[in-house]
Amino acid sequence: MSIRAPRKRLTGKRQRKRKKPYSRKRRSIKVAPNSDIQPIESQPGTTESVIDIEADGRQTEASQQASFLVGYEKGYQEGKYAGGEEIIDQLLPPNILFPDHSLQQIIAAGISMYREQAVPLMVVEQVRDAILQAMDEHKPLSIIRLGDGELLTLAQEIVMPVDSVGREGKFLEYAGVKVPDLDIRNRLAEAVTRADIVGIPRTRKPNYQLLVAPVFQAYGISFGERQWTDSLINYSLCQAGCLISILQNRRVLIIGNMAEPLSAVLAQHGIQIAGFIAPVNGARDAARVVQLARHYDFDIALVSAGIAAVLITEELARITGKVAVDFGHLANALVKGEAAIS
């Protein structure tokens, strides 16, 4: 048996060099200033933006965020121009300019010109008085609200293809409608035509106010001889301190998945609760909920049930002769303490 001699330890120049732990070295790349882009981070005394790059060419997390913000700001400015100033550029005759007038001033002048053609909205005091009068005179009153969920549901296959509605309204199933559902679409349209006061969005974002006109035109719904209000009238009534004056000394029926905790909150403020109905399982559950509600003796019903609230509110007021209000997510806000009853 042979024994291998131990290896000699290398010394001097022959000694092996130990590898140092890998470390990333940073180097800075300076981005020249751009008149349209504001620098995110600047070195003291300069207006140049600095982006940190790892030795292997990858950006650090901070520099990626900085690059994103720079790109976002550039895109925002370009979009702002395309959506405003560029339109003025295209509409102005070639022989005039408005260098002393801002975009806001020009738009304001246009709004003033079209004011007589505007759709009037009931303000919060008018809606409050309408509710009080209806309860005092024992007359039916339904107040419904249209948001992007209701408008997208109404748009199915009559304004927008179902697949487009599905892409734009990925939240619709949570709101109570699983598209395609043309039966709920038609029932929703009927509810809008029969409701006493309809809230429509003031914001001109896509799928909100900009979808109202094509949807209404498709169903032959006219803006004339109807009562309209802001779709956020529920919050406005709360913020204006109208809830107590509306609900005190009235029998209140609460409907929706937040009905039980909302009942407790209202009871703490001395509101008489006639009862509550929960849960509401989507728009197709509306008819069942209305039949249950008919057995309660109430003066006003507050309905927080997504898209189903429009169907429940309109039918409940019509068949019972009482007041019903689409209360929306205000129920959640009151329960969570994000809104106050005053």
CA atoms within 13 A on the CB side of 246: 26
Cβ 293 vs Cβ 311: under 8 Å: no
What's the confidence (pLDDT) of residue 125?
98
Task: Provide the mean pLDDT of the chain.
Answer: 87
What's the confidence (pLDDT) of residue 61?
82
d(CA 278, CA 200): 27
d(CA 162, CA 178): 11
Cβ 312 vs Cβ 286: under 8 Å: yes
Mean pLDDT of 254-274: 98
Quickly state the pLDDT bin for 55 (edges 50, 70, 90).
low
Q: Alpha carbon 93 to chain centroid distance?
A: 38
At residue 234's C-alpha, the angle toward residues 318 and 273, to 5°, is 65
Quickly state the pLDDT bin for 167 (edges 50, 70, 90).
very high
* Element housing 153 (H / E): helix 148-155
142 CB burial (10 A radius; 0-12, 13-18, 19+): buried
Domain boundary assignment for the chain: 37-84+99-111, 121-342
d(CA 156, CA 180): 7
What's the confidence (pLDDT) of residue 58?
62
Instruction: Say whether 160 sits in a helix, a strand or coil.
Output: strand
In the block, which residue shows the tokens 């409907």?
255
Convert the pLDDT of each residue in 212-251 to its tens digit. 999 999 999 999 878 999 999 999 999 999 999 999 999 9
d(CA 132, CA 122): 15
What's the confidence (pLDDT) of residue 80?
87
What's the confidence (pLDDT) of residue 63?
85
Convert the pLDDT of each residue in 183-203 to its tens digit. 999 999 999 999 999 999 999
What's the confidence (pLDDT) of residue 60?
79
Phi, psi of 267 (to 5 degrees): -60, -35
Of 135-139, 225-229, 264-268, give the lowest mean pLDDT range.
Answer: 225-229
- Residue 106, pLDDT > 50, answer yes
51-84 as b/e, with b when 16 or more CB fall inside 10 Å?
A: bbbeeeeeeeeebeebeebbeebeeeeeeeeeee
Pairing label, strands 141-145, 197-200? parallel
Instruction: Say whether 186 sits in a helix, a strand or coil.
Output: helix
What's the confidence (pLDDT) of residue 59?
65
Quickly state the pLDDT bin for 26 (edges 50, 70, 90).
very low
Quickly state the pLDDT bin for 8 (edges 50, 70, 90).
very low
Percent of the chain past pLDDT 90, that is, above it, reads: 77
Cβ 259 vs Cβ 280: under 8 Å: no
Convert the pLDDT of each residue in 66-93 to its tens digit. 888 989 999 999 998 998 999 999 999 9
Percent of the chain past pLDDT 70, that is, above it, reads: 83
Quickly state the pLDDT bin for 166 (edges 50, 70, 90).
very high
- Residue 24, pLDDT > 60, answer no
What's the confidence (pLDDT) of residue 54?
54
- Residue 42, pLDDT > 90, answer no
Six token digits for residue 160: 């927008």
